[in-house]
Structure 1
């Protein structure tokens, strides 16, 4: 059971380092003023950040997702695997939807404050906080726990449909007809496509979430999710709900290809180790015995 969570954690960290620069571009494009845009497009935003701040600017706020995404993915993959494993028919579509929905709900408790800190630092820099943790501490002092979880409801509204399309797409593309283990290229392709599809469905919700969470760093503009949606459409048009979609989809494929590959191979290595060495606690005991008896180490 714990290995599912550990594998998800490893996959999440691997995915963050691949995709964070394009995530920074996405958030800056989503939250810029439409009437007086700071960037002409995604490429201009990328070049501008790289020119002014270097590679470090593209990885601004990365410590939050490294810690947070590790936790989110640990919960997401761990909950999904355990719910799926304990259902009557683990391979059915009904089971996949139920497991993905549960994973989306649980992961929202971590991803909501994590993304709030990340988005504010990506957009406002040190004005929001010296670090993601500092940002959350400042937010808590100014707005209490309600401020830390600002955007929680809309985060969950995004996560549930995203997780359903994410896992269902991956299961469909990675499953072999003769139940053989999927190859690495197949895992990479299935994971990449699953990541792209999972963003296409809830993307407008994510735009409103980003604007709502960033709101309040300098001034408060929106009274709630509906007010944010209404003002965004009224002032910027329906097209604004898909602003930043291009870098998001470009980022989604490699990030999720790497994430799923890391998760799958972690699980295979863990299971292989468990099969040859027994349970993790037994393996640890055997390694301790090496110090005492000088036997050959099982590792």
Structure 2
């Protein structure tokens, strides 16, 4: 399934409105279910690299840098905690991955429905790429509200334990202990600390994620048509791309998502890993960004970016391949 070539309405033409509603609900349930499966699979691939990224991003300003780079961070993590340490706290991110991916596909579909209902586009014609960038941004904005609390818990668990004022190194926190601590000190609002960073990253990143995937998919369709001299085929009758081309399109989407708005994610991670003390408030997004820029410049905002972009390629490729395969299989069935 390619979003750019999926030109039919959410339900097939039918004189019975109830049937159309049921089909729309089934499509939404498919997006949520298949998106969850794809998101969980992708998270298992990328999580160790995400742990390294968070540790690089959250190094304190007032101390010498603990890690020289991604490779050094990875080695130190293996020496101190083993491979299990790199998967520390994965339970919350697995839930988050399922929520994020299913939410993205669900809200992207809602965004297209909004555009159709508003009369901006014709249901019977393929959506232009510009529209897919907009529906991707729409999906990311709504998804950010779900993601911020999950990522706050994840980031706090991923940061390695350090010695406290009493000289003791305490046990790494669990998801429940982090939830209790945040709620005790800052209440429900505390779980959305870093929301601005997540909103910027998800809105812009999701626009790039959906848009770049469909751009590359369209380029491959044109290339395949030219190679096979099958240019007479209409855009609604395009054959599925070979697996390797689907992988490249998905990988391109992941790299675009992570690179373009990475600084927002860096600021967000620093805000979410700052110490939680009674009555204290974390710096605002702009304050945190200004502090980081003043001390480290652009390099500080992109700390850990190479590792993140590298791990996002296979992860995003798997997510789209699995999602498209499940959608295609059940529609054929």
TM bucket (normalised to shorter chain) is 0.7 to 0.9
Q: Distance in 2 between matches of 1:83 and 1:228?
A: 32
- Name the CA distance, whole Å, in 2 between partners of 1:54 and 1:9: 28
* Alpha-carbon distance between aligned partners in 2 of 1:3 and 1:50, rounded to the nearest angstrom: 39
Q: What residue is the counterpart of 2:69 in the other structure?
A: 41
Indicate the residue corresponding to 2:186 in structure 1: 143
Q: 1:291 — aligned with what?
A: none
Are 1:104 and 2:140 counterparts? yes
1:70 aligns with 2:98: yes
Structural RMSD (CA): 2.1
TM-score, L = length of structure 1:
0.85
Please show how residues 100-249 of structure 1 align to structure 2 within 5 Å: 100-125=136-161, 130-175=173-218, 176-177=221-222, 178=233, 179-217=238-276, 222-249=282-309
Take 2:270 and 2:37, find their aligned partners in 1: how far apart are those partners? 30
Q: CA shift at 1:145, angstroms?
A: 1.1
CA distance 1:127–1:96, change in 2 (3 Å): farther
Q: For each residue in 1:192-227, what CA deviation from the matched residue of structure 2 results, as whole angstroms up to 9, or x when unmatched?
A: 011101112101111111111111247968521111
Alpha-carbon distance in structure 1 between the residues aligned to 2:84 and 2:138: 36
Aligned counterpart, 1:272: 332
Correspondence for 1:255: 315
The answer to whether the 8 Å contact 2:38/2:319 transfers is yes
Residue 281 of structure 1 aligns with which residue?
Answer: none
Q: Does 127-136 or 108-117 show the bigger shift? A: 127-136
Q: Which secondary structure state, in structure 1, belongs to the residue aligned with residue 159 of structure 2?
A: helix
Q: Return the offset for 1:272.
A: 2.1
- Would the aligned equivalents of 1:128 and 1:217 in 2 still touch at CA under 8 Å? no
Between the aligned partners of 2:82 and 2:187, the Cα distance in structure 1 is: 35
Q: Structure 2: which 5+ runs fail to align?
A: 1-26, 162-168, 223-232
Whose helix proportion is higher, 1 or 2? 1
State the number of aligned residues: 273
Greater Cα shift, 53-62 or 169-178: 169-178
Contact 1:124–1:217 at 8 Å: present in 2 too? no
SS of corresponding position for 1:237: helix
Q: CA deviation at 1:78?
A: 1.6
1:27 and 2:63 correspond: no
Q: Which moved more, 1:4-13 or 1:15-24?
A: 4-13
Cα distance between partner residues in 2 of 1:142 and 1:127: 19
Deviations 1:5-63 (A, max 9, x none): 11111110010000000000000011113541111110011011111111110101111
Show CA shifts across 1:123-145 (max 9, x none): 14596974224312321121101
Could you tell me how far apart the structure 2 residues matched to 1:241 and 1:119 are? 17
Supply the distance in 2 between the matched residues of 1:127 and 1:184 (Cα, whole angstroms): 47
Residues 57-83 of structure 1: per-residue CA shift (max 9 Å, x gap): 010111111011101111101221343
Distance 1:261 1:85, change over 3 A: farther
Following superposition, the deviation at residue 85 of structure 1 comes to: 5.4
